[in-house]
């Protein structure tokens, strides 16, 4: 039996995907997303997002995955 994602999980996924989709200049989106995550997200939020990327990768956009890979 799988459990439903927590509200925090859903919020992080929504925010990360929105950041990626709202980058105005579509060149180097992953780098811009990574910069935003480093600048505005706490280490705990970034760690939780990385865990989400590992556990349920289909929930995050390719740009968010690339940003996380670039931050590793």
pTM of the model: 0.90
Mean pLDDT computed over 25-33: 92
Residue of 19, 39, 32 lying closest to 67 (CA atoms): 32
| Spans of all domains in the chain | 27-72
Residue of 28, 32, 42 lying closest to 12 (CA atoms): 42
| Max CA pair span of the chain | 42
pLDDT band at 25 (very low <50, low <70, confident <90, very high): confident
* CA 59 and chain centroid, separation: 9
Cα 63 from Cα 6, distance rounded (Å): 23
- What percentage of the chain reaches a pLDDT higher than 90? 86
| DSSP conformational letter for 22 | T
Dig out the tokens for 58 from the structure: 């289909």
């Amino acid at each position: 039996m799988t459990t439903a994602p927590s509200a925090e999980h859903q919020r992080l996924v929504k925010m990360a995907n929105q950041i990626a989709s709202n980058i105005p200049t579509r060149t180097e989106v992953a780098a811009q997303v990574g910069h935003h995550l480093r600048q505005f997200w706490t280490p705990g939020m970034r760690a939780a997002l990385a865990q989400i990327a590992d556990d349920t990768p289909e929930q995050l956009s390719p740009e968010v995955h690339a940003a996380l890979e670039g931050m590793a």
